[in-house]
Amino acid sequence: MPAGDGLATTATDDVRALLDRALELYGDDPAVVARLRAQRERLDGPLRLALVGRVKSGKSTLLNALVGARIAPTDAGECTRVVTLYRHGPTPRVELHGVDGGLRTLPVRRADGGLALELGGVPPDEVAHLVVEWPATDLLPATVVDTPGIASLSAGTSARTRTFLAADEGPSGADAVVFLTRQPQPEDVAVLSAFQAGTGAPGAHTTTITVLSRADEVGSGRLDALLAAGAVARRMSEDPDVQAVSSAVVPVAGLLALAGRTLRHGDFVALRTLATADAGQVAGMLLTADRFCRSEAPVPLSPDVRVSLLDRLGLFGIRLSLTLIRAGITDASALADELLRRSGLTELQRLLHVHFTARGDQLKAATALQQLGVVLRDHPVAGADELLAGLEQLRLAASDSAELELLARSRAPRGPLPPALRTEGEQLLGAEGTGPAARLGLPEGTPDAALRTAARAALDRWRDVAEDPLADRATADAAEVVVRSCALLLAGLDGWPGRSAAGAAAREVPGGAGEQREQGDDERAGAGDQRPAVDV
């Protein structure tokens, strides 16, 4: 088991033990017991990742692209007005959970290789949420939640999303959020802020990633639209309002991504037919959707085939596909890979792994600690102070929120990590994965002895940065976070019993230039001899 996984498991066990003790303390209070049990169940369940955004922001299309199947409805039907959880299951299954607590199993109807979702005659106002099980490996790391649009014309529809994300009388319905937007509005920021208040961790904005959605529509759908979208995303990431509620901004063309994940050989054959037809005539067809789907066209493709292409790729996707085929792509697999790469989905998947799924246990544990703290403070009983002390110890021992916050800041043009060590620093923080080899930039399967040697060398390098009297405060503080990550990594490799012990060792690391300047030059001179004894 990788060291990082072992430490995460131990931390989760510690949080679970605290919740169990709290359940004993509050055994005579049914309302509190129900709240604690709900949090306990969430701790043992899969990570929940919610897609949040305004109406027509592309949430359902992005969900389908992430899963690799058309299982979320993308029209304006009744199912888009309710919260729907998509989780892994051995066979397709749909459950309707009513606001009255009732449960119904709905018939599974397949369509176009995916799912046709209906409410079975139940009004949306009577639906608490739907649960869809689907045998997709992409749903193994996390349950993905499709939420109704914010700022919908129906106040009740928007309220369902707010209620789902809120953590008023229990855990939020989500552990992390992907926020889809073209331009964030104050109401959007308020919804995200309310969700993050329930996570409780410093740097709560690290529980949210922003997607500049429908990126292919930036720049009026020109072939360079995705490049223009990248520039817009960079500017958006520098907006203080966005930085306050999000750790990263990434442009994604959802429909293009879905096409890349679901492209069929028949689609490629039809696209190749268009690519080899008269370029001028095809360009005229692609001016508008109506022209492309006219009953009569100067290409040997039926209207039904052209309508299907438009539905699956959109005008931008068709134009891009024709350009790629004319440039030399010769098969469906190669075209799908190129569409996927250009869509931005690959980068989003990487960020989701680094920020969320690879740290799922830690995110759930942080939320559980926050909720437990609220209960202990709002409902004081004998023994609550002892649990609060244990809770604070676990919070101090956790490094993930600090790592994610620093990763978010390091992407800024003038990030706090030293330029010469930025790549290594981000790796050590978990930017390429949270296992020991990934953090150290070494191949999987590297022997533990080599991992220890590399980790100790990294620890020494970053201690030097933290203790450099010429380093500014921001750099020194950032280096301290990396030092802590190195100490935790070494602790896991050495088989230390848990994150608490590792955290104690990490806290022994000298405070760095920031703290040392406050203590004075004499104390700083002696601090260099106080390095923690991390045996290798």
* pLDDT by 10-residue block (mean), the chain, 536 residues: 47 90 94 92 92 93 96 83 95 94 92 83 92 95 94 76 79 90 88 78 76 88 87 91 88 97 96 96 95 93 96 96 96 97 95 89 86 90 91 75 81 83 92 89 93 95 94 93 92 62 36 37 34 30
Please tell me what DSSP assigns to residue 139: G
Structure tokens at 281: 């005539």
From its phi and psi, is residue 379 left (phi > 0), alpha (psi between -120 and 50) or beta?
Answer: beta
Do the Cβ atoms of 313 and 216 come closer than 8 Å?
Answer: no
Helices (H), 238-297: 240-243, 254-262, 265-276, 279-285, 289-292
Closest residue by Cα to residue 408 from 229, 214, 202, 215: 202
CA distance 87 to 84: 10
CB burial of 178-213 (b: ≥16 within 10 Å; e: otherwise) equals: bbbbbebeeebbebbeebbebbbbebbbbbbbbbbb
Do the Cβ atoms of 498 and 11 come closer than 8 Å?
Answer: yes
What is the reported pLDDT for 153?
62
Q: What Å distances lie between residue 2 and 336, 366, 434, CA to CA?
A: 34, 21, 9
What is the reported pLDDT for 511?
36
Q: What Å distances lie between residue 280 and 200, 275, 284, 285, 299, CA to CA?
A: 58, 11, 6, 9, 12
What is the reported pLDDT for 107?
92
What is the reported pLDDT for 336?
97
Do the Cβ atoms of 363 and 27 come closer than 8 Å?
Answer: no
What is the reported pLDDT for 169?
66
